[in-house]
Amino acid sequence: MVAPNGSVRATQAAAAIRHHYDVGNDFYSLWLDPSLTYSCALRQEADDTLETAQQRKLRFHLEAIRADNATRVLDIGCGWGSILGQLSGTHGVQQSVGLTLSDEQAAFIRDRQLPGVEVRTENWTHYEPDSRFDGIISIGAFEHFATPEETPAEKTGLYREFFTRCRDWLNDGGALSLQTITYANMSREQASEFIQQSIFPDADLPTLAEITAAAEGIFEVRSVGNGRLDYAWTCEQWAHRLRRRHAEAVRLVGPEITARYERYLKMSAVGFRMGKIGLLRLVLQPYRGAYFRSGGA
């Protein structure tokens, strides 16, 4: 099967994102934490609440790019703006740009009128910034970049394009903080048909090997960690919250969609606990200077 070209891939990605994320802000508000952070939390204490663990996760990524010293930051896959809100409020970053493919998310962020924040409904493959950034954060977007039709080599090439663009968008000394779900002891062929078709259509997870191969010679991996048990716990927290507000969810989106999400959250928690899928947090810094003078890519 022929892999989709860039414009077709971008159209597919936008449709897939809207299928999942434009279910409705009110629906997600029922079971996410107040910041509407829809990605793996960072749990360190047995008595952590979801809110505490999500705020710790946000701090991890903000500290990775040294947000306190940044004047311009890019958030690729900005969700409902939890990182953008921290950049604008807590860290006083002068200009932050968020990219999303969800109309609902973009409208939500714009309504918040965050100082210095611009949100764009745009794919990273089409984005052309007018100046460089001090840091780039991407949480939960990388797993939507490739499609199941692409070969591992084509996926790696696409990821390499992403890393190349991020390197070129960063100022000297800038960093990329990346968080993504990955295949672990499960292959693409073993993935759940329900998840692939009903929850995240036209999306294919990366592997750690594909990520490191794509970044080779472009970014140095400064740190990498697997938070799969954090994500199992996060999904369990979400599932508990959704069950607790089941009747409200049904009123908002109907019984079929509610049941679909309850099943998806339960399956995801099991997948992370069994090690079928992983959750990687990577901090990367571009190779500069001597590496390029010596002939590196």
- Domains of the chain (ranges; CATH) run 6-33+52-287 (3.40.50.150)
| Mean pLDDT value across the chain | 89
Q: What is the pLDDT of residue 24?
A: 83
**Model-level pTM?**
0.88
Q: Is 293's pLDDT higher than 60?
A: no
Q: What pLDDT score does 216 carry? A: 97
Answer yes or no: are the C-beta atoms of 49 and 37 closer than 8 Å. Answer: no
Mean pLDDT value of segment 130-155: 94
φ, ψ of residue 24 to 5 degrees: the values are: 140, 130
Helix, strand counts (H, E) of the chain: 12, 7
**Mean of pLDDT values over 145-172:** 94
| 81-103: average pLDDT | 96
119: left (phi over 0), alpha (psi -120 to 50) or beta: beta
Q: What is the mean pLDDT of residues 278-282?
A: 97
Q: What is the mean pLDDT of residues 214-243?
A: 97
Tell me which residue of 272, 141, 159 sits closest to 212, measured CA to CA: 159
pLDDT of residue 294: 38
Q: What angle do CA 51, 229, 43 make, to 5 degrees?
A: 30
